[in-house]
Amino acid sequence: MPPGGRSLHAGEPPGSGRGFHQAEAPTRARSGRATEGRGDVCPGCPRRTTSPQRAGARDGAVGPLVNPGTVVYVDPRATLSSIRRAARRLARALRPGDLVLLYGPLGSGKTTFARAVAAALHVTDPVRSPSFTLANIYAGDFTVQHLDLYRLSEVAEEDALALEEYCDTDAVTLVEWPQAGEARLGEPSWVVKLNHVSAQERALEIVAVKEEARRRWEALRD
């Protein structure tokens, strides 16, 4: 078990998270969807709204459509290094097709966590926040898709298929601010919750939503 956080046994109820500010940088695209070495700008994706999501989602709370699952990791005072360490541990349990939803308020560490997962999956291109492109796609051990739905107030009916296509894939898909798309994203394998504790610390929680995901986590060896 990595220092700082602790793994939990099945049956423990999920708690809340508190989360890190993240920087941005360039990407690699999946073949057929974008130009090599640039991230997928996704012209067919759901259109951005001019204002952020509904106020109820801006605090990073998990929406009612997400199965509570089983909390498998908790660190109430995670530092930047321990957030990255937990992300690397999660990466070891990921498989193609896994959907990971990342919840937390602004600056809580969602992109930091996503970057660490991508690095652990041997993505070599710099990973930037997809806030203005909706999605960036990278090559690593698996294809890694990184989405950010913060600027969507909701997913319009005519645009829903584009979002669903991202989740109907053999890629590992990481979604920040998933609240606007919860009804379209499908059931996640994992939920990551981050919340602010102090300027340098976050409360971090990892939830295995699917039973198979929980078994994979419990099979990890430190």
For range 97-121, the mean pLDDT: 96
Tell me the pTM.
0.74
DSSP state of 15: -
CATH superfamily of 6-218: P-loop containing nucleotide triphosphate hydrolases (3.40.50.300)
Least confident range from 5-19, 133-147, 189-203: namely 5-19
| Residue given tokens 């204002």 in the structure block | 51
**C-alpha–C-alpha distance, residues 104 and 106, integer Å:** 7
Within 10 Å of residue 11's Cβ, how many Cβ atoms? 7
Find which of 66-70, 72-76, 181-185 is predicted with most confidence, using mean pLDDT: 72-76
**C-alpha–C-alpha distance, residues 89 and 100, integer Å:** 14
Q: 18: phi > 0 → left, psi -120 to 50 → alpha, else beta; which?
A: beta
What would the pLDDT profile of 37-57 be if each residue is shown by its tens digit? 334 434 344 444 434 444 445
| Residue given tokens 């989740």 in the structure block | 167
What would the pLDDT profile of 180-218 be if each residue is shown by its tens digit? 888 788 899 999 999 999 999 999 999 999 999 999 999
